A and B are shown apart, each in its own frame.
Chain A
Amino acid sequence: QSALTQPRSVSGSPGQSVTISCTGTSSDVGHYNYVSWYQQHPGKAPKVMIYDVSKRPSGVPDRFSGSKSGNTASLSISGLQAEDEADYYCCSYAGTSWAFGGGTQLTVL
């Protein structure tokens, strides 16, 4: 049960786009299309932004999108806004367990 690998931090200016990668293995990200992404603001509970690799729950802006290639999933955020500044975590089903990424801190400059 290994953690997925994410960059520790990314940054962008308002209006710009950023992409956060999430690398797993052929036993999790590469095997299942059950990759989800969570946004967490300081002191708050996580909130789902993307599920099933690329689907957006109701209420999540279409500025957020997800994709996957092989063992790596990605979260892209376009048109960055100040309120997007938060920690982002990827998550993948791994058979009988779930693996989370270490988290990426997004800074909006």
Chain B
Amino acid sequence: EVHLVESGGGLVQPGGSLRLSCAASGFTLSTYGMNWVRQAPGKGLQWVAGIAGGGGRTDYADSVKGRFTVSRDNSKNTLYLQMNSLRAEDTAAYYCARDEAMWFDPWGQGTLVTVSS
């Protein structure tokens, strides 16, 4: 069964850093594009970043470009999101999602990031 499990969320001060992980099971992470999508409390979904399968091209939302980095460790079948220079507006539940073929499935259960002093 295909499964994604995020971890690494928590409380961090403005300007701080955090690294999220997304452990994949039931499929080989390196052969799929993967994405991070976030959802601020009570708000809608917002695409954050993506990494292509194979070659590993990365793309970012303008709001996080230069601050966030998406990567993966194929040996651990794990996706990462390194988040630096965090701001209050980055507070959200962060989901990882597999790019099935230009649509997102499955999604993980999400990990909550709170940026506050």
Contact = CB atoms under 8 A, between A and B. Distances in A.
Interface of A: 1, 3, 34, 36, 38, 40, 45-48, 51-52, 57, 89, 91, 93, 96-103
Main secondary structure of the interface of A (DSSP, over half): strand
A47 B104 CA distance: 8
Given A1-B61, A52-B102, A45 B44 contact: no
A51 B62 contact: no
Contact of A97 (B61, B102, B109): B61
B88 interface: no
A40 B97 CA distance: 14
A38 B60 CA distance: 21
B109 to A, nearest CB: 6
Contacts of A57: 105
Contacts, number: 64
B73 interface: no
A103 B109 CA distance: 19
6 contacts: A45-B108, A46-B97, A48-B104, A48-B105, A51-B101, A99-B47
B50 A98 contact: yes
B102 A89 contact: no
Main secondary structure of the interface of B (DSSP, over half): strand
Given A45-B95, A51-B103, A100 B45 contact: yes
Nearest to A51: B103
Contacts of B101: 51
B46 A38 contact: no
Contacts of B47: 91, 97-100
A62 B37 CA distance: 27
B112 to A, nearest CB: 12
A102 B43 CA distance: 8
A89 B97 CA distance: 15
Contacts of B97: 46
Interface string B31-43: 0000101000000
A102 B44 contact: yes
A101 B43 CA distance: 11
